Structure formats: structure tokens, C-alpha cells
Amino acid sequence: MSSLGFGLITAAVLAIATVGFTMQFAVTNVLNLAYGSIMINSAFVSYYLNIHGLNAWVSLVGGVGTGAVASWALNRFIFTPFQRRNLAPITLVIVALGVDLCGTFGLQAIVGGGYVSFHQSQGQEYHFLGMFLSGLQLVIIGICAVILGLVHWMLKFTRLGKAMRATSANASLARNSGVKTRWVISATWLISGALCGLAGTVFAMNTGVFEATSAQLYIVLLLAAMFLGGPGEPYGAMLGALTIGVATEVSAAYLSPQYKEVVAFLVLLGMLTFRPYGIFGSEKTI
């Protein structure tokens, strides 16, 4: 039962990260494999704010801001110029991998290879339904739930959200119908980048100790959650993240923590081989 608790928190963080990742894929059609490096860079910015005396909330906002600005800049100055050249999608994936190397190891060059951790208290321990959760973990789950609710509200009820969905369904049609797609794409990268920064920071807080390459495997969980729910589908991403998050933690408890990610790997490979458009998706959605 305690593994279920861990699963919930992993799932909460993963849901935030996957929703951001899948939104980027939806509006720009790029598998942004540099996502993990922006997560960990956001976490480090937040960490430095924290150890220089700012409280956890302000530091968290710093991490979120870093993710937003870095993601927006990545799209504006790297992906968009490359996309204007009408290259194959694979070229952009290779570029993203290059950016990932620069982001992750550039950070490592600056901060060194050592592990760090936030100044924070885990808070009081709570248990209910047989699960043990620290105060911090409850706060994280709370934040994630609120943010996912906000994303839902934005997609369903705001003009921006509708414009995003229109752009993702058919960018040129949306443009011809008067949607300012460039602006929508910029806004999407800012928002999804904020989610990326948030996910990176809470991931680091929850992990306890972390270093520059800690998020390298995270991209696998992200991809597994995204492909499970169908690429480009924010609600699918939430569902996929819940499944993958719980499945990895439960399997870690019953098998061995070393094989924690194996479930995610197998899900991802299975989805790519048999249903690359998600459990509920079909060809036409791509």
C-alpha cells in the first residue's frame, strides 16, 4: 500500500511534466527531447534561490519561470528557425538531442558533478488508507492537482485554450480562420515550459538529492505516459502519467527498485509497436 502512495506522487509530478511535453508536441509537432534538461536546469535555479535564503515557495516560482523562459527561447530561437526550412521531423529530434546534451552537461560543467538537496523540512508524516505520505509530498500532490485543474480550465473555457486546440488539430486551417498561430505557439511554449519548470523543481524536491544528470531517464517515463494516452492529447497524458507513475512504483516494490523504469520502457515499446496513436487514438489524430 505504501508503494501506492509513492506511485501517486510520482504520477502527480509525471502528469505535470507530460502535459507540458504533449502540449509542445501538439502545437509544434516536435518531440522535444531536451525537455529533461530544462527540467533539471529549472530545479537547479530553484535550488540556488533556496540556499541563498529564499523560502521554498519563492524558489519554486523561480524554477517555474526558468522553465517557461528557457522553453520559449528554445522554440523561438532553435526549433522555429529550423522548422522554417521544412526539414524532416527527425532533423528536429536530432537538434533536440543536441540541445539536451548542451543543457544537461553545460549545467554539469557549471555546478560540478556532486549531489545537492533543498533546504526544506519533510513536514509531519501523515498516514491514511495504509499509505505514508510526508507533509511535503501532500503539498506536491496538492499543487499538481490544482495546476492540472487550471490546465483543464484553460483548455476548455478560455480563448487561448480553444486557439491551442485549433492550432494543434490543423495549424494552417486555424491560421486561415483568424487564429494568430504564432502567438498561440509562443503562449503554448511559455505555459508548457512553466509546467516543465514546475515538474523539474518538484521532482528534485521529492527526490531529495539530485545532480545535473538526474533527469536523464525521466524522458522515458514522459514518453511512455504520452504514447499511452496518445501523442498530443493533454487528457490522455494525465491518464497515461497516472498509469505509468503507479505502475513503476508498484513494480519497484514487488520486483526490485533497480528495474523500476522497466515497466515504462516496455509500455512505451509496446505502444510504439502496436498502437503509436494511443490506446484510444487513431491514425487521423496525427
Partner 1 sequence: MSAYAFYLATIIVYGAVDAMACMALNVEFGFAGISNFGFIIFQSVGAYTAAVLSMPPAATSNGGFQRYVLGWNLPWPLPWIGAALAGGLIALPFVFLVGKRLRGDFAAVGLLVSAVLLNLLVKNYVPFLNGDAGISIVPAPFQSLWNPQALAYQFAYGAVAVVLTILVYFLLRRITESPYGRSLRAMRDNDIVADSLGKDLRQQRATTLVLGGMVAALSGAILVGFISLWAPGAWGYAETIVLFAAIIVGGAGNHKGAVLGAILVPLGFEEITRFLPPVGNPTLVPALEWVAIGLLIIVFLWFRPLGILPERRRILSGQPRVKSRAPAEAPEDGGATIRLGNLDELDMRELLRIGEQPGDDHVVLSVEGLTKSFNGVEVVSDVSFEVRHGRVTGLIGPNGAGKSTVLAMLAGTLSSTSGRIIYEGRDITKMPSHRRAQAGLVRTFQLASEFKKLTVLENLVSAIPRQSGDSFWGSVRGRRHWGVEDRANIARASELLEGFGLSQYADAYAGGLSGGQRRLVEIMRALLAEPKVLLLDEPMAGIHPNLAHRIGDQLTRMAHAGVTIVMVEHELAMMDAYCDPVIVLAEGRVLAEGTMAELRAKSEVVEAYLVG
Q: Where does this chain bind partner 1 (CB under 8 A)? A: 31, 33, 78, 81-82, 87-95, 97-102, 104-106, 108-109, 112-113, 212, 217, 220, 223, 256, 258-259, 261-262, 265-266, 268-269, 272-273, 276, 282-286
Q: Which helix (H) or strand (E) covers residue 128, if one does?
A: strand 125-128
Q: Provide, rounded to whole angstroms, the least separation between the CB of residue 227 and partner 1.
A: 8
| First-last CA distance in the chain | 38
Angstrom distance (rounded) from CA 214 to CA 117: 12
Quote the least distance from Cβ 117 to partner 1, whole Å. Answer: 18
Q: How far is the CB of 243 from partner 1 (least distance, A)?
A: 17
- Among residues 139, 172, 149, the alpha carbon closest in space to that of 60 is found at 139
What is the smallest separation between the CB atom of 262 and partner 1, expressed in angstroms?
A: 7
- Measured from the CB of residue 217, what is the shortest distance to partner 1 in angstroms? 7
Alpha-carbon distance of 267 to 212, in angstroms, equals 27
Which residue lies nearer to partner 1 by CB, 70 or 202?
70
State the nearest-atom distance from the C-beta of 147 to partner 1, in Å.
26
Closest to partner 1 by CB, 78 vs 138, is 78
Smaller CB distance to partner 1: residue 82 or 190? 82
Q: 195 pairs with which residues across the strands?
A: none
Closest CA to 74 of 102, 55, 52, 47: 102
Looking at the Cβ atoms of 91 and 121, the one nearer to partner 1 is: 91
Within its chain, how far is the Cα of 178 from the centroid?
30
* Cell numbers 543536441: residue: 98
Angle between helices 262-274 and 234-254 (to 10 degrees): 140
* Closer residue to partner 1, CB minimum distance, 112 or 149: 112
Smaller CB distance to partner 1: residue 254 or 283?
A: 283
Q: Report CA torsion sign: 154, 156, 159, 161.
A: positive
Q: Which three cell numbers stand for residue 4?
A: 501506492
